[in-house]
Copies of this chain bind each other. A is one copy, B any other.
Amino acid sequence: MRPFRETIAVEDAKALALEAASPVDRSERIALRDATGRVLATSAASAIDVPPFDRAAMDGYAVVAGDTFGASRDRVKTLRLVHTSYSGDAPAQAIASGECVEIATGAPLPDGADAVVMVEETEKTTEGVRIFTPVYPGQHVGRRAADISKGQTVVASGSVLNAGSIGALAAVGTTTIEVIARPRVAIVSTGNEIIEPGQPLGPGQIYNINRFTLTSIIETHGGTVSAVDTVVDTLADLVEAICRNAAADLIVFSGGSSVGERDLMLDAVRQTGEVIFHGIAVKPGKPTLLGKVGSTPVLGMPGNPTSCLSNAYLLVIPMLRQMARLPPYEPPTIHVPLARRIVSTTGRHQFFTVRVVDGSAIPAFKGSGDITSMAHADGYIEIPAQTDIVEAGEMVKVKLF
């Protein structure tokens, strides 16, 4: 058996992981309605003015502004109503001084009119429309191109699309857009004891957990699982699994990166590419390997489900988001006092799960083999490598799941 020769600091591991994670250049065309959270691949310029015409911004009367100057409740001006213009109508015929058009919000302003008097400031009578207030030219008018002008960049390349930017793309008549393709991640489960949920457990067998936790993380952070693979723990099979998945943007192995005699990930990566690091000074999650095969980063994650998932938070999320061209993830955090003292391992950065109950953080970490260390926790605190004790009552920053 081969113990780790040396481990690297978690910060160094993260920096090397980001270095190995190249942003994806491929793009794909999708429907605008599916665009939330996607990254625009090419800047979108408008082919039209929005609005495409001068329009009423209020319900009321389209007027020649000059006709209203001096109007008040005491000095009412009366205009002749020549037309009613609803939204969706073509513009009404042009008006002249002394005339007005009843107009709904959004309807095109008739030629000749240059302002709208709000309905609240008017009274419609059989003699005409009584105007109680002056308006200036342009008042209550949405000018053609006020929102977006023809040729203008509506949404810049690299933007993460949300409701507002999708709305702007719809406003200029967009139906499909080119977005950065989601990084393709191959998940390879190793370990002869692992079987899939749904099958009965044989002696010595346990269910595959990591495949599910990794899928959840990958799909939440902009990636897509391109393959789910299970291999037995032989050098030939591991090498074959790497080659079979070499077209992925990232290959994540779980299991098989510890130091046992049958731990062959190190040899498999050496044989097909280069090892970047093997062993991180972090708890749990020490037996983690990063390599590169061709241009594809390969992560060898611990088989223990909590170690695998904690390293997914520490390494997979930053790598994946960089590959997907998404901004770094900032989990929601709360600051609360620690309910009980934690004794940490000096020299290893600790990922320590907690529950938040009645405004304090209660340790929830059981063991790296226990998925309930994660499942029954609300989030985690990070304890730096050089800290060995966090006292009860000390304020801690909980990163919520």
6 nearest A-B pairs in the assembled complex, by CB-CB distance: A88-B192, A164-B374, A168-B375, A88-B193, A90-B203, A163-B216
Q: Which residue of B lies closest to A201 (CB)?
A: B52
Q: Are A53 and B259 in contact (CB under 8 A)?
A: no
Q: How many subunits of this chain does the assembly comprise?
A: 2
Q: Are B170 and A374 in contact (CB under 8 A)?
A: no
Q: Are B146 and A375 in contact (CB under 8 A)?
A: no
Q: How far is the CA of A51 from the CA of B201 in the complex (A)?
A: 11
Q: How far is the CA of A96 from the CA of B394 in the complex (A)?
A: 48
Asked whether A371 is an interface residue with its Cβ less than 8 Å from the other chain, the reply is yes
Q: What distance in Å separates the Cβ of A255 from its nearest Cβ neighbour in chain B?
A: 8
Q: Could you mark each residue 34-53 of chain A with 1 if its beta carbon is under 8 Å from any beta carbon of chain B, else 0?
A: 01110000000000101111
In the bound complex, residues from chain B placing their C-beta under 8 Å from that of A309 are 163-164, 167
Q: How far is the CA of A168 from the CA of B50 in the complex (A)?
A: 51
Q: Which residue of B lies closest to A35 (CB)?
A: B216
| 29 A–B contacts from the bound complex (CB under 8 Å) | A1-B59, A57-B369, A59-B259, A86-B233, A88-B191, A88-B192, A88-B194, A104-B260, A106-B206, A106-B303, A119-B259, A119-B260, A146-B367, A147-B372, A162-B216, A163-B214, A163-B220, A163-B309, A164-B375, A165-B375, A167-B212, A167-B216, A167-B309, A168-B372, A169-B212, A170-B197, A170-B209, A171-B206, A330-B332
In the bound complex, residues from chain B placing their C-beta under 8 Å from that of A1 are 59, 119
Q: Which residue of B lies closest to A196 (CB)?
A: B175
Q: Are B374 and A105 in contact (CB under 8 A)?
A: no
Contact for A86 among B106, B216, B217, B262, CB less than 8 A: B262
Q: Are A209 and B167 in contact (CB under 8 A)?
A: yes
Asked whether A240 is an interface residue with its Cβ less than 8 Å from the other chain, the reply is no
Asked whether A28 is an interface residue with its Cβ less than 8 Å from the other chain, the reply is no
Contact for A377 among B108, B147, B164, B211, CB less than 8 A: B164
- How many residues belonging to A are interface residues under a CB distance threshold of 8 Å? 98
In the bound complex, residues from chain B placing their C-beta under 8 Å from that of A87 are 191-193, 204
CB proximity to B under 8 Å, residues A1-41: 1, 3, 32-33, 35-37
Q: Are B369 and A142 in contact (CB under 8 A)?
A: yes
Asked whether A157 is an interface residue with its Cβ less than 8 Å from the other chain, the reply is no
In the bound complex, residues from chain B placing their C-beta under 8 Å from that of A262 are 86, 104
